Amino acid sequence: MKTIPENRHLKIGGLIFPSMDQCDFTGPFEVLSRIPNSTFHTLWKDKGTVRDMRGLQLVPDTSFEDAPQLDVLLVPGGYGQEEAATNKEVLAFIREQAKRALYVYSVCTGALLCGAAGLLHGRKATTHWTAMEALPFYGAIPSDDRVVIDGNYVSAGGVTSGIDGSLIVAALLRGDQIAKELQLYMAYDPQPPFDSGSPARASAEVLNNVRARAQEITAQRLASAREYARRGLAPL
């Protein structure tokens, strides 16, 4: 695997936005912010406090205007992805950074935000299982894999898969050894108490309950995706 020379300083940035799912950001942050010889920027339009979908407060340290060209752009998801995807400033920032970034890395429904920015045409991608049907409307080729690499675009599935994807991004940048050391430092050794972490393994009752709770946002996401396709795969 070809990696980036260790003496090259890496600029890594993670987008935050109102009503995001903080774990899509904080899980990857735990990995990406520890990559040797790198700086991590927490990004939003301005430096005002952002609340995630459960009320957790996050504070950006870098505005869009002050952001350097990034080597890696992290795009998380969450319910607020729908509103962020209607914001021309947000989409323009993602598109401009993507032009010269080594990698764009989406977690969960951050893939739909990348789709709205026009980054998914003809690319393989994954997202949260409740949003998988929306991907083709953005020109993407859906994959059920937990982490998908297509050129310089990396996508991870729902929420906690962001940690897996971040370790892969770390390996792409600095090699497997560094990624393994980061994994050990984090004691990332998943041993879930229940085998219910995917639709394929969850009981019918659990699956139906979760689908019902996500029904409204799922419908919104499909409507947005269909509108994107109606415009002829043209971003805002």
Determine whether 108 is an active site residue.
Answer: yes
Domain annotation covers residue 2: no
Q: Give me the pLDDT at residue 1, please.
A: 61
Task: Count the domains in the chain.
Answer: 1
Which residue ranges in the chain fall short of pLDDT 70?
A: 1, 236
pTM: 0.97
Q: Give me the pLDDT at residue 232, please.
A: 80
CATH code: domain of residue 79:
3.40.50.880
| Structural domain harbouring 34 | 10-231
Domain annotation covers residue 5: no
Domain annotation covers residue 26: yes
Measured at the CA of 222, the angle between CA 150 and CA 13, to 5 degrees, comes to: 45
Give me the catalytic one of 108, 156, 169, 171.
108
Three-state DSSP class for residue 156: strand
Calculated CA dihedral for residues 195, 142, 148, 108, nearest 10 degrees: -60
Domain annotation covers residue 59: yes
pLDDT in tens, 165-175: 999 999 999 99
Cα dihedral 124, 38, 108, 69 sign: negative
What residues pair up with 154 in beta bridges, in sequence order?
105, 149
Q: Give me the pLDDT at residue 236, please.
A: 65
Domain annotation covers residue 4: no
Please report how many Cα atoms fall inside a 13 Å half-sphere around the Cα of residue 166, on the Cβ side: 31
Domain annotation covers residue 216: yes
CA dist., res. 178 & res. 175, Å (int): 6
Domain annotation covers residue 165: yes
pLDDT in tens, 73-116: 999 999 999 999 999 999 999 999 999 999 999 999 999 999 99
Domain annotation covers residue 236: no
